[in-house]
A and B are shown apart, each in its own frame.
Chain A
Amino acid sequence: GAGVSQSPSNKVTEKGKDVELRCDPISGHTALYWYRQSLGQGLEFLIYFQGNSAPDKSGLPSDRFSAERTGGSVSTLTIQRTQQEDSAVYLCASSLTVVTSTEAFFGQGTRLTVV
């Protein structure tokens, strides 16, 4: 695609429910990143993929968070048993490789609200 696409753009969910956030990277980009942006804060790194592999999951806030990537393309970030503190904008980015972050392109994010 022309850019990084994220869906849904907005999600309101009840506390305790599971949610799935989707990221469709730029075609040909092997690296994919997930960040979280809480209100008034900078971006917090969550996880990255090189191809379908996620070498470092230490940025995920808790074991309720998981992510996968299939076919070296679309990635899904899943949050189980959502809590109010999970409310944030979840941003996805992709780049040709992980060698440098210079060429990372971001999507418009998914705004998650847990009520």
Chain B
Amino acid sequence: AQKITQTQPGMFVQEKEAVTLDCTYDTSDQSYGLFWYKQPSSGEMIFLIYQGSYDEQNATEGRYSLNFQKARKSANLVISASQLGDSAMYFCAIDTNSGYALNFGKGTSLLVTP
């Protein structure tokens, strides 16, 4: 069974600074996908970035990058140049054997301060 662990329940970062949100995973599959979603106070889940287990390069999407260390089974999200609008819950997830459902971690609450 797949499992996602996010050890940071809450994080603070100052505006314009970079922040790293930790995610470790456990899976017996050779092929899998890792995802990060943002959930603002409005409640919807916003897809941020995806990393396939066979991708050799770390995924990047604008200010978001995924620090993928396969041997350590970690997939940390790095947000550069934080903005006040980045304040939200952030969830790491892994796709299951079935490929249609995601296993989510418990999330990290990020607060960006002026």
Interface residues in chain A, defined as those with a beta carbon under 8 Å from any beta carbon in chain B:
31, 33, 40-45, 48, 56, 59, 89, 91, 93, 98-109, 111
Contact = CB atoms under 8 A, between A and B. Distances in A.
Contacts, number: 62
B104 A43 contact: yes
A1 to B, nearest CB: 14
Given A40-B106, A41-B106, A42-B104, A101 B44 contact: no
A101 B100 contact: yes
Interface residues of B, number: 25
B33 A108 contact: no
Contact of A109 (B44, B47, B95): B44
B102 interface: yes
30 contacts: A31-B100, A33-B101, A40-B106, A42-B105, A42-B106, A43-B102, A43-B104, A45-B101, A45-B102, A45-B103, A48-B100, A48-B101, A56-B98, A93-B45, A98-B100, A101-B33, A101-B99, A101-B100, A101-B101, A102-B33, A102-B47, A103-B47, A104-B47, A104-B102, A106-B44, A106-B45, A107-B44, A108-B42, A109-B43, A111-B43
Given A33-B100, A42-B91, A102 B43 contact: no
Interface in B81-114: 91, 93, 95-96, 98-107
Contact of B44 (A42, A56, A98, A108): A108
Contacts of B98: 56
Given A33-B100, A42-B4, A101-B102, A89 B43 contact: yes
